[in-house]
Amino acid sequence: MARIAVVADLHVHEQSKGYIKKLFLRRDINKEADILLIGGDLTQNGKIREAEILLEELKVVKIPIYAVLGNHDYQLNKKDKIIEVLKDKVLVLDGDGIDIEIKGFKVGIAGVKGFCGGFEPHVAQAYGEKALKDFVFAGDREAEKLDEALSELESDVKIALLHYSPVKETIIGEFPEIFAFLGSKKLSVPLDYHKVSIAFHGHAHHGTIIGKTDGGIEVHNATRILYHNNYIVFELKEGKWIRKF
């Protein structure tokens, strides 16, 4: 059966050499999964050197890797260079959708970073200062990019990969005061509209493992912190993704 491994928030820095490699070899990801999805914050500070270290660490992973960037990867405004450094090993999705085949199953993956905005009843509104409007519009644009990416997919089995959370449930455990900066309700709308099979995100290190959209789509918080510094593995059974490890 088709299996996917998922992890988020690697936060690679200059002292990470050997550490990330062990994360993937501890249980041997190459035997447990057919592809790897990484839900953002590949680097700690958005440095090119950090991306280079990650590239070296990922050489032990022999299966295809798909990823989105996280907020940390944007810190130095070098996201394009980070993508360039990783391109031979990692396909970074930014409002893109790709259909692939895993052991005879056609699977679509749509990826986007996502953004802030909050969740009902506390959703940021585009009213008042230009800075606040720009903040809200940035979140709107990420939701639009997710919708566009999902629209590109031809597969019936669709996976959404984000960094920011599309549901409130998976950020519970964090301080409520920062909920609006951990995700946006607007990101869940495309998931329901396109009937996504499953969605993954990171960012909320102290959140909750699983939640659901209004339409019943399962959303999993894949940050490695919640899984004792491990990736998680899902298996496709009768069109549904079931967590194995």
Q: What are phi and psi of 135, to 5 degrees?
A: -60, -50
Q: For every one of its 245 residues, what pLDDT tens digit does the chain have, with 9 covering 90 and above?
A: 899 999 999 999 999 999 999 999 999 999 999 999 999 999 999 999 999 999 999 999 999 999 999 999 999 999 999 999 999 999 999 999 999 999 999 999 999 999 999 999 999 999 999 999 999 999 999 999 999 999 999 999 999 999 999 999 999 999 999 999 999 999 999 999 999 999 999 999 999 999 999 999 999 999 999 999 999 999 999 889 999 98
* DSSP per position, 84-118: HHHTTTEEE-SSEEEEEEETTEEEEEEE------E
- In angstroms, the CA 163 to CA 205 distance is 11
Contacts of 73 (CB under 8 A, 6+ apart): 40, 41, 42, 43, 46, 79, 82
- In angstroms, the CA 80 to CA 8 distance is 19
Which pLDDT belongs to residue 23? 96
Which pLDDT belongs to residue 139? 98
Give the residue among 165, 168, 169, 65 at the shortest CA–CA distance from 109: 65
Which pLDDT belongs to residue 243? 96
Which pLDDT belongs to residue 53? 98
Ordered domains of the chain (ranges, CATH): 3-243 (3.60.21.10)
Asked whether 100 and 36 are in contact (CB, 8 A), the reply is no
